[in-house]
A and B are shown apart, each in its own frame.
Chain A
Amino acid sequence: MIEARGIGAVLGGTKILHGVDFTARPGEMTVIVGPNGSGKTTLLRRLTGDLDGPGAVTLDAAPVAAMPPRLLALRRAVLQQAVQVGFPFTLREVVRMGFEAGHSAHAPAVVDMAIAEVGLSAKADHFLHDLSGGEQARGHLARARAQIWQPVTQGRACWLFVDEPVAALDIGHQILVMEVLRRFADTGGGVVAVMHDLNLTAMHADRVVLMSEGRVLADGPPEAVLTDDRLSAAYRSRIRINTAPAQGPWLLPQMAGRG
């Protein structure tokens, strides 16, 4: 369980987060959404320890800031946005780095399995910087997965923190990545994701945290948080949610044409 109480953050003299409370449970995918500048990524950076500020973050009741990086790396992996690699490492070498830092270091097959999971087996021996932006993003996801391959180790849940994991991806790979994260949560691990795509969020999230101007506007299951009023208020535009009926056929008029 990840718990954070009264999380604040100041960047360049501006208060970005105002006393945010946050909880994420294992076995669930917790998705942080909100408009640009609402503090989503800043909240994630506070949760992962990349940023200091008021308020404490705990993992299973132990303060994260006090845990040695070596041990923390066995429990959780972090996928940042747009990581650049300074030297000509191949995809496999980068994934191997995650693998060696993680908790499956006795099972070398994990490297290739993690690469296969994101659909990049054919490019394992390419230089990472020769791959497209979307392929690089998936490559770094494979690195995070190779680090935290088992959702549960020694009876304790492991965690993936991901910042906009599908931002650079086409729709097919968006679904692939969301399913990788979903499977991880379904098998007992915990996922905390920052997302822009509200549809993918509605499809895959167990819990949604809606941020607005550095505060949590709503927190709960997708159907409770993703409502017309709340989204309209957060995104400052008129938003209407539609749901497909649970039973019976339905169609979208946009999909119809004159035969």
Chain B
Amino acid sequence: MTVLGASAPIRNRRAPARLPAGPVVAGLAVLLVLVAGASLSLGASGILPWEMFLRPLNPAETAILFSIRLPRLILGALVGAGLAVSGVLMQGLFRNPLADPGLVGVSAGGGLGAVGAIVLGGALPAGIHAVTGMYLAPVFAFAGAGITTLILYRLARLRGHTSVTTMLLAGIVLGALANAFTGILIYLADDRQLRDLTFWGLGSLAGANWVKLAAAAPVLLAGLAVAPLLARGLNAMAMGEPAARHMGVPVERVKRGAIFAVAAMTGAAVAVSGGIGFVGIVAPHVLRLAIGPDHRRLIPASALFGAALLIVADTVARLIVAPAELPIGILMALIGAPVFLWLLLSRRPGTVM
């Protein structure tokens, strides 16, 4: 499917020059350190980055830095990296640069899980609480995101090939369905649960603390650790599953790995930060233009870029209407929606749609 009657393919044209991946990854790492430093020092109480090392901080500053800003910074970086890499993996799985967990209902599925944990958590047998402890919401979100990803993958491939039309529409339907169930849960919630849900639903890192970080970090890190192992397989799968199999890729294992990693990262991200969309579209898209579609480079670069992007967005969200805070989800949608539209309208003929 081509969009808007795209013109004939342009022949005899070299691919535009790409930036060397190594320096780009190194540059992104430097960028991440810089924005992290800026994020730590900017805010209602200004502490310059080097002051942390040059002079002893007073107790109030120490509290702000280590109890509020630092866990929030680390959580933001992990969530940003997780969402960006989830986008890369999903796009590779569906052979389509428009796939994004937020867009195709996976985040909504994760949200349903998280809300379910908040609302129904008290009714669960004590044994489950003993096993899951503070991980209850991330585990439920992971299950919700995982089930949604699986259903979506089955639906989009009903006719033997992955169709983007089916995928987007099925994703919208799944998202609507998940949101409807979430609505029922919210209807059932009591006042205290409603307050929790409201803060969570705004899509914000505002409630970040070490406990939340400890709950989400292992899940996000597990997803981030699995992703690079899938890179070669996803490269080959750009030519379809049979071609990838002929090139020695254990296709079923790669697919399972990708679905697991996407569900883990999206689920954990949604559980701690609500619905933050478009990171998974913006970061991979910009990087594919810069360094090309090779997943071996795209995955680490997207992780760094996604982390930096979310830290910048969170810092801006904290500062722009200070002392109040803008939900970061709104900010990402303002950046991401135009990028998505640009991507949709600049699709080339001959690519899989």
List residues of chain A with CB under 8 Å of any chain B CB.
48-50, 68-74, 76-78, 80, 83-90, 93-94, 97-98, 100-101, 123, 125-127, 129-132, 147
Contacts and interface: CB of A to CB of B under 8 A. Distances in A.
A85 B73 CA distance: 38
A73 B288 contact: no
Given A86-B96, A88-B288, A129-B348, 19 more contacts: A49-B245, A50-B242, A70-B248, A72-B248, A76-B246, A77-B247, A78-B246, A80-B242, A84-B239, A84-B352, A88-B351, A93-B294, A97-B236, A97-B247, A101-B248, A125-B15, A126-B15, A130-B11, A131-B11
B127 interface: no
B235 interface: yes
Contact of B250 (A48, A69, A83, A90): A69
B352 A86 contact: yes
A148 B232 CA distance: 18
A53 to B, nearest CB: 15
Contacts of A74: 248
A69 B248 contact: yes
B77 interface: no
Contact residues of A: prevailing secondary structure: mixed
A230 B349 CA distance: 43
Nearest to B295: A87
B97 A87 contact: yes
A147 B12 CA distance: 26
B29 interface: no
A71 B350 CA distance: 32
B351 A129 contact: yes
B330 to A, nearest CB: 30
Contact of A94 (B239, B249, B251, B348): B239
Contacts of B250: 68-70
B246 A73 contact: yes
Given A49-B245, A88-B351, A127 B15 contact: yes
B11 A86 contact: no
Given A72-B248, A126-B13, A127-B15, A86 B351 contact: yes
Contacts, number: 104
A202 B272 CA distance: 67
A89 B236 CA distance: 11
A48 B244 CA distance: 13
A33 B288 CA distance: 42
Of B242, B251, B348, chain A has the most CB atoms within 10 Å of the CB of: B242
A88 B293 contact: yes
B348 A73 contact: no
B243 interface: yes
Nearest to B95: A86
B10 interface: yes
Contacts of A78: 242-243, 246
Nearest to A127: B15
B246 A77 contact: yes
B177 interface: no
A98 B243 CA distance: 10
A227 to B, nearest CB: 35
Q: List 6 tightest A-B contacts by C-beta distance, closest first.
A: A73-B248, A86-B95, A87-B293, A101-B247, A129-B350, A78-B246
A131 B9 CA distance: 8
B233 to A, nearest CB: 10
B240 interface: yes
A182 B235 CA distance: 30
B113 interface: no
30 contacts: A69-B248, A77-B247, A78-B243, A78-B246, A80-B240, A80-B242, A80-B243, A84-B239, A85-B239, A85-B351, A85-B352, A86-B95, A86-B96, A86-B239, A87-B288, A88-B292, A88-B293, A88-B351, A89-B235, A89-B238, A90-B292, A94-B239, A97-B239, A98-B247, A100-B232, A101-B248, A125-B14, A125-B15, A130-B10, A147-B247
Interface string B234-276: 0111111011011111110000000000000000000000000
B85 to A, nearest CB: 16
A84 B351 CA distance: 7
Nearest to B17: A125
A129 B240 contact: no
Contacts of A125: 14-15
Interface in B90-105: 95-97
Nearest to B236: A97
Contacts of B9: 129-130, 132
Contacts of A83: 239-240, 243
B235 A97 contact: yes
B292 A93 contact: yes
Contacts of B237: 86
Nearest to A68: B250
